[in-house]
Amino acid sequence: MTRFALTVEFDGRPFMGWQRQLHGPSVQQALEDAIHAVTGERSAVHAAGRTDAGVHGLAMRAHVDIEKTITPFRLMEAINARIRPAPVAVLDCVAVADDWHARFTCIRRSYEYRIVNRRAPLTHEAGLAWQVPQPLDHIAMADAAMRLVGRHDFTTFRSAHCQADSPVRTLDLLSVERIGERLHIRAAARSFLHHQVRSMVGCLALVGMGRWTPDDVGAALVAQDRSRLGLNAPSDGLFFVRADYPGDA
């Protein structure tokens, strides 16, 4: 038995999310079906994190245990050949120690949220970014983002369906950068609550529109009340960027 670590890229638009679902296609199912076609084995693929329907992945880390003798390169090539036409690709595959776990060994997860701030409709990026037509003040958004960095009770920014034992999380990074008509919001933490990133982005967007102030974001955080959430951003613009592990460069 060999444990393989996979780095996976995917377009989330056709999927109900990463995790296998009874009511629709998932990234996990696409990978597991491809691996079964390659090896004849029904092997579970474990990921660094779960993503909602429509959320994308640039470098999701996952692992799978395979009994068949196969090199990492051959496994990667075979999965990529079998998984077509699903918009999923294995970018890297390496053999790892038996106790390496994509979820439990992970020490940091990073997301990026993409906003296109223009009135013209999206063409190439439809479903890959959130279009906000009204002008956004990214300086005010960055100010508001700093109110959320650190260790807090994020109940306000937590989905009512979140299954985490505690709403307390330590947010290592929440930054806002504008490049022309595009805004990139980056978030990093050891772990996130269900909908936390999208909820934070939605409130930052309200600040950018002038409907909220940075102090309103701080007040929503302190309230620890989901009903105080201003806006939950759509899934379109959210990307899982990377997962970090001990010993990574």
Known catalytic residues are 52
- ∠ at Cα 229 (234, 139), nearest 5°? 75
Residue type, 206: L
Distance CA 2, CA 128 (A): 35
Query: Hey, what's the torsion of the CAs at 77, 105, 45, 68, to 10 degrees?
Result: 60
Residue of 38, 42, 48, 55 whose CA lies nearest to 7:
48
Side-chain-side CA neighbours of 166 within 13 Å: the count stands at 7
Residue of 176, 173, 175 whose CA lies nearest to 137:
176
CB 12 within 8 A of CB 55: yes
DSSP three-state, residue 138? helix
